[in-house]
């Protein structure tokens, strides 16, 4: 199967899963996809939609409710730097 088609199917599963499954399932699947696909920027949209649906004031000192977006951004940065140093991703 072509990598693009697989990515589209996984994206549809994740975004449908935001509405169907508990909050942790699409989050874990999106973080897994960070290591499966190159440049998986969809993780930011997953975090945004999870914040819209499940977001709450969790950081009272910063008065923010974007916890899932922050988690996805940190996971993206970790995967970006981890992929540089892992031999499985070397060209």
Which pLDDT band, with edges at 50, 70 and 90, does 86 fall under?
A: confident
Distance between CA atoms of 21 and 53, rounded to whole angstroms? 12
Residue 34 clears pLDDT 70, i.e. is over it: yes
Distance between CA atoms of 22 and 7, rounded to whole angstroms? 21
pLDDT of residue 57: 63
What is the pTM assigned to this prediction? 0.84
């Amino acid at each position: 199967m072509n990598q693009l088609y697989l990515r589209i199917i996984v994206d549809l599963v994740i975004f449908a899963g935001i509405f169907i499954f508990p909050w942790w399932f699409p989050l874990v699947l999106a973080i897994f996809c960070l290591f499966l696909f190159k440049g998986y920027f969809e993780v930011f949209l997953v975090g945004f939609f999870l914040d819209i649906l499940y977001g709450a004031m969790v950081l009272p000192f910063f008065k923010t409710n974007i916890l899932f977006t922050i988690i996805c951004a940190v996971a993206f940065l970790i995967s970006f730097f981890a992929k540089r140093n892992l031999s499985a991703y070397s060209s």
